[in-house]
Structure 1
Amino acid sequence: MKGKTITVENLVRKFSMKVLAGENLEEKMIVQSRVHRPGLEFVGHFDFFPTERIQVLGRKEINYLHKLSKGERKLRIGNIVNYHPPCFIVTAGVEGLTYLTQYCIEEGIPLLATNKPETTTEFITKLDAYLVKQLAPEMTIHGVCMNVSGIGILLRGHSGVGKSELAHTLIGKGHRLVADDVVVLKKLSQQTLLGTHDEKTKEFLALRSVGLLNVVRLYGRKAFQEETRIALDIKLTKWQKDDLNNELEHEPEYTEYMGIKIPTIEIQLQPGRDVAGLIEAAANNWYLRQQGYSAAEEFMSRIEGEFSDSGQ
């Protein structure tokens, strides 16, 4: 698992922003997800000032600064720039901001401005989502990641067990490939694990005896998805007749990734067995359980009902 950083230059390119002040943007690092609007700080409250976050100035903040006297404005802005946040972003237009530009130049703090006609809230929502994904702790695993009926699934197993071939079968059934061979997992929150590719293998599926396939070129855009929230972890193992679990419902198992527990099931492989169909069933059954339904519980209630009726 590793944390990540991005540069202010990455931010400028991603959101097509104007650079009003700042040099060597590729050296200015952003390490904190989520942004901050320094309203309280402008009036002197610094008890909880998140200094490592991007500072966003919307119409309220800019109008407040414009109304201050020159000396008061210098004091208010100076109190914030002294903490050297990674950058300031203005979303309310840049008219009359020469004083802010000058302060940022003097302190070496990048000052950026948005180009698109959107509200500050809309921009912050997009920026927060981008930062959370880019700065999320991540790890890589060997396997395949699929989106099956809208549900993110990891397929794991020893090399050569047939993970990629199974993914190809699922694509033929209308499901989507996310990543083959190298799966990147990102921890977005304490409950959310995102699966994606590592860019190099994007859209590629490697099949033994056939070679490398580009699933988008072969089957269209519907065959591929950039990322998916992981809900199920499926282990593909060799057939062991005596190990098959035939209970109505067994104790759930989990695999932990970066502190997040993912429900895990084992599917044994055997020639002629419809493993793709079993994965579809597992995905749909997981969805029903999220809605509060259990087939095993309904079955047992029917049996108990029969015994109750026969005892009358």
Structure 2
Amino acid sequence: FSTLSPERQRDIIHEICHLELSCLVFTRNLDIPELLLEEADGKGIPLFRTHLHTTDFIERITQFLEEKLAATCSIHGVLMDVFGVGVLLLGKSGIGKSECALDLILRGHRLVADDMVYIQKRAPSALIGSGFEIIQHHMEIRGLGIINIRSLFGVEAIRERKKIDLVLELVEWDTSREYDRLGFEREKYTILGVEIPMLRIPVTPARNLTTIIEVAARNHLLKVMGYDSAKEFEKNLLKKMEERGEEKPEIKGEVE
């Protein structure tokens, strides 16, 4: 640019400043030409300068804009990091979501958000959950009130944000309803247009929900790695029956 004639420099700057620009950014602490300062000031175009190299700046500003302009929503529930799996616990008020989360924390898992989960859509199919600033790291336990998880258990018991990988809905046990007992059902929960695998967990006093949630997280990890316990069970069962020459049974929810 500096090798061009003053007239050509002015023409280029004039053309640039007549575009619909939000701002201009100069990287590597480059000097801003005086002509550009005058033209940008006249057009009301903000000018910025950074010490970052161009590629580093583009990467950072892209990430910043994706976060600030992402589609968002909030949902009533509890978000936990269980074995590295982002588990979103849903269910009606009073069913025991916070109590389950507290038990998971005692077992070494990490709280992301309790009561209200703030969700941002990143990329085509990634949902990032976090807590609202005013209630972040806090939990409401009936009978105890509001407790600060960070103060009670330390920073290792919390996470600022986590990708949502699995939705578990806690529901009251209904004797008139038939629940999935083999794991062939493949339900999805849709948030901001993104489908997340979902399981419905019936709640009764005799069931250890914390252990069930841990097993659900481990089983999800297995599926991500390509191993499906239900499909493997079905395959082995059909193989044994073929060896014995028995007729194949019709298994409800059978999938290819």
TM-score in terms of structure 1 length: 0.73
**Which residue pairs with 2:70 in the alignment?**
136
**1:239 to partner: Cα distance:** 2.0
Match of 1:268 among 155, 177, 202: 202
* 1:205 paired to 2:142: no
* 1:278 paired to 2:212: yes
**1:242 to partner: Cα distance:** 4.1
Give matches, 1:10-159, under 5 Å.
65-95=1-31, 97-115=33-51, 118-159=52-93
Instruction: Name the SS for the 2:223 alignment partner.
Output: helix
**Which residue pairs with 2:221 in the alignment?**
287
Amino acid at match of 1:182: M
Task: Check whether the contact 1:155–1:235 (CA below 8 A) recurs between aligned residues.
Answer: yes
**1:95 to partner: Cα distance:** 2.5
Task: Check whether the contact 2:13–2:35 (CA below 8 A) recurs between aligned residues.
Answer: no
Task: Check whether the contact 2:171–2:203 (CA below 8 A) recurs between aligned residues.
Answer: yes
Instruction: Name the SS for the 1:75 alignment partner.
Output: helix
Instruction: Name the SS for the 2:114 alignment partner.
Output: strand
Structure 2 residues without counterparts, runs of 5 or longer: 246-256
Q: Distance in 2 between matches of 1:170 and 1:258?
A: 27
**Which residue pairs with 1:29 in the alignment?**
none
**1:310 to partner: Cα distance:** 3.5
Instruction: Name the SS for the 2:179 alignment partner.
Output: coil
**1:132 to partner: Cα distance:** 0.5
**1:247 to partner: Cα distance:** 3.3
Instruction: Name the SS for the 2:2 alignment partner.
Output: helix
Q: Distance in 2 between matches of 1:130 and 1:305?
A: 53
Mean CA deviation greater in 244-253 or 266-275? 244-253
Task: Check whether the contact 1:132–1:188 (CA below 8 A) recurs between aligned residues.
Answer: yes
Identity, % of aligned positions: 34
**Which residue pairs with 1:25 in the alignment?**
none
Across the aligned residues of Structure 1 and Structure 2, the Cα RMSD in angstroms comes to: 1.9
Task: Check whether the contact 2:189–2:196 (CA below 8 A) recurs between aligned residues.
Answer: yes
Deviations 1:241-278 (A, max 9, x none): 34352432232111211211111111111223211111
Q: Distance in 1 between matches of 2:184 and 2:235?
A: 17
Task: Check whether the contact 2:184–2:231 (CA below 8 A) recurs between aligned residues.
Answer: no
Q: Distance in 2 between matches of 1:135 and 1:272?
A: 46
Structure 1 residues without counterparts, runs of 5 or longer: 1-64
Amino acid at match of 1:119: H
**1:72 to partner: Cα distance:** 1.9
Instruction: Name the SS for the 2:215 alignment partner.
Output: helix
Q: Distance in 1 between matches of 2:39 and 2:180?
A: 71
Q: Distance in 1 between matches of 2:186 and 2:2?
A: 60
Amino acid at match of 1:82: H
Amino acid at match of 2:183: E
**1:140 to partner: Cα distance:** 1.0
Instruction: Name the SS for the 2:164 alignment partner.
Output: strand
Q: Distance in 1 between matches of 2:13 and 2:117?
A: 45
Task: Check whether the contact 1:188–1:194 (CA below 8 A) recurs between aligned residues.
Answer: yes
Instruction: Name the SS for the 2:240 alignment partner.
Output: helix
* 1:214 paired to 2:214: no
* Alignment size in residue pairs: 246
Q: Distance in 2 between matches of 1:69 and 1:281?
A: 71
Q: Distance in 1 between matches of 2:87 and 2:213?
A: 9
* 1:178 paired to 2:112: yes
**1:66 to partner: Cα distance:** 3.0
